[in-house]
Structure 1
Amino acid sequence: MDRVLANGSSDRGATVQPHHPQRVFHIEILSPRQNAPDLDAGLAALADKYRQIVDAGHVACFTDNPLGNLAFQGTELIQELGLPVRPGQVSIHLNTFHTRRDLDAILDAATNLKIDDILVISGDGSERLPKLRGRDLGIEAETVTSVELVAHLQRTCPGRFRIGVAFNPYEPREHEMEKLRRKLDAGAGAVTTQPIIGQDPSIADLRALGATVIVEAWMSKKLHLLSDCVGYALPADETYDPLENLRTLLRTYDGCGFYLAMLGMKTQFPLLRDIWS
């Protein structure tokens, strides 16, 4: 069985040999904020996490200024920390809160590092994060959404990247599905959901579209943090078991990829080798 890479391709013919070729997770790496109080320690921990992920054959996924907090880019971290890039094992998030100059620099760095998986998201802004404008991309649109950003990548970087996009099942279904169709029409080849608790009927709709579906699992017991991420209040559940939820997702959505957010490297990561059994 070929593993599913970060944004929709197979790894048929790849040279990387993970512990279990069919058991590959996309594991989120939160980039440290640039004003973090103990930045050196944070960078050392990130480098260790990254190496553990890629050595186990998984895909390391770098966020892009999560929740509007100015953070280091994945490409910057890889370059500065001298981290190895293996084919198909690195994915970077890319949102719409950049200047055109910074956007080009990120894409050029990704190309030079041979990173070819990008997850395009709209992102969260802040006063320190300028939003792309239509004229920055040479289009007439007033604002740039993930649809326009996907189209820009396809137009200016044809064939350089496998492009994925996000889907929020907590939004009204028809509205979110229409947005997704526009993203796919613009050239995206894969869909990563917001974290799913248990089961969600929207997954069947996503699979029917023919794109690769990557189901996100919330690996923290703190569901209130998930509420902040998805923008909707979720019911508190003190009995929530992230590992059991992951097992449920694996059983329910066989054939999908799986993205792990907030994974505990000391307590949960060692268990991934046997989680499918």
Structure 2
Amino acid sequence: MREHIENKMYHIEILPPKQETENLQEELKLFAEKYNKVLNGGYCACITDNAMGYLAFQGTEIIEHLKLPVFTNQVMIHLNTFHTKADLHNILDSCKSLGIKYLLVVSGDGSERLPKLQPADVNAKGITRSVTAVELLKYIESEYPNDFCLGVAFNPYEPAEHEYEKLDRKLKAGAKFIVTQPIIQKNDVVDKLIDYCSIPVFIEAWMSKKISLLSQAVGYEIPENEQFDPIETLKMLHKIYSQCGAYLSILGFKTQYALIKDIW
């Protein structure tokens, strides 16, 4: 992952079509266009896993269904705890066979419609009451040793002491890189994170003008700012966190994609 930073390779988030979409073929076509554009641009395509708790198609099944190319260094799959054990192994086996090595392991948002891994599913019965990213990390490391490079999320909006305690457990479980929740300005907690860790850190940049959506994503109220400019903010974040990588969420492919090549 460190070479992604050295080579100024953006991580660009792509959301798969929701299961309930009425125009699946159009959505699949749009996904393929975004995916290929990211790979052809030399960036890393980061595919979400039921983002915000909405049931969506899995990134691996879309890649297989559409026969999309996979460049090992340019694809990352998000993986959360809201799966059955069988589905979890199907996803991991597909990643392995496709040559996908980067996984961002998160607890996930979840919903009543989604199943949840149980402690016994990940060899954690009697150790924990609920499966989190920590248990999932440990399980993947034990069941698929050396097959994947596992990353984790870091939320600077949570109470710092609690978040760092979780981070320590994630690092011990095998985390090799970190992606922060989106920030739109210099953040003291993120500053400390960079000094705290020796593994690569990727700053998530919010590329939508809708700050209200950011509040929903991080679970904390972010004050509205009518002057917020995602592109200018991205430039600022690069200057402040020049030693870090950049993960772009909600990127406008029609309006912003062509602009990012000249920023980093």
TM range (shorter): over 0.9
State yes or no: 1:39 paired with 2:24. Answer: yes
Q: Deviations over 1:190-235 (max 9, x none)?
A: 1100001111112222222211100000000000000000001110
- In structure 2, distance between residues paired with 1:129 and 1:170: 26
**Separation in 2 of the partners of 1:198 and 1:232?**
15
Task: Quote the Cα distance in structure 1 between the aligned partners of 2:152 and 2:84.
Answer: 20
* Distance in 2, Cα, partners of 1:247 & 1:257: 13
Helix, strand or coil: the match of 1:215?
Answer: strand
Corresponding residue number in structure 2 for 1:235: 223
Match of 2:3 in 1: 10
* SS state at 1:206 partner: helix
Aligned equivalents of 2:260, 2:57: Cα separation in 1: 28
For residue 191 of structure 1, what is the amino acid of its counterpart?
I
CA 1:246/1:49 → structure 2, altered by over 3 Å: closer, same or farther? Answer: same
Equivalent residue for 2:150, pick from 163, 166, 174: 163
- Given that residues 8 and 245 in structure 2 are in contact (C-alpha distance below 8 angstroms), is that contact kept between their aligned partners in structure 1? no
- 1:30 match: 15
**Match in the other structure for 2:237:** 249
Q: Does 1:145 align with 2:138?
A: no
RMSD in angstroms over aligned alpha carbons?
A: 1.3
Give the counterpart letter for 2:39 in structure 1: V
Structure 1 CA distance for aligned equivalents of residues 198 and 217 of structure 2: 27
Task: Give the match's secondary structure for 2:134.
Answer: helix
Within 5 Å, which residues of 2 pair with 1:181-200? 181-200=168-187
Question: Residue 200 of structure 2 aligns with which residue?
Answer: 212
Tell me, yes or no, if structure 1 residue 72 matches structure 2 residue 65.
no
Amino acid at match of 2:259: L
Once the two structures are superposed, residues 47-101 of structure 1 have per-residue CA deviations (whole angstroms, 9 ceiling, x without a partner) of 0000000001000000000111110111011001111001210000000000000
Compute the displacement of 1:126 (Å). Answer: 1.2
Question: What SS is found at the alignment partner of 2:72?
Answer: coil
Specify which of 52, 60, 82 is matched with residue 45 of structure 2: 60
Q: Is the 8 A contact 1:93 1:121 kept in 2?
A: yes
Pick from 100, 118, 135 the counterpart of residue 85 of structure 2.
100
DSSP 3-state at the match of 1:170: coil
CA deviations 1:26-64 (Å, max 9, x no partner) are 000011101112111111011000000000100000000
Q: Is 1:267 aligned with 2:255?
A: yes
What is the distance in 2 between the residues matched to 1:173 and 1:223?
Answer: 22
Partner Cα separation in structure 2 for residue 115 and residue 256 of structure 1: 22
How many residue pairs get aligned? The number is: 261
Identify which of 158, 161, 179 aligns with 1:174. 161
Shift of 1:22: 2.2
Percent of aligned pairs sharing the same letter:
50
User: How far off its partner does 1:11 sit?
Assistant: 6.4
Contact 1:9 1:162 in 2 (8 A): no
| Unmatched 5+ stretches in structure 1 | 1-7, 13-20
Contact 2:4 2:245 in 1 (8 A): no
* Cα distance in 1 for residues equivalent to 2:243 and 2:36: 26
Question: Greater CA deviation, 62-71 or 133-142?
Answer: 133-142
| Shift of residue 9, structure 1, vs aligned partner | 4.5
Secondary structure of the structure 2 residue equivalent to 1:226:
helix
TM-score normalised by L of structure 1:
0.92
Q: Which protein is richer in helix relative to its size?
A: 2
SS in 2 for 1:159: coil
TM-score by length of 2: 0.96
The aligned amino acid for 2:132 is: T
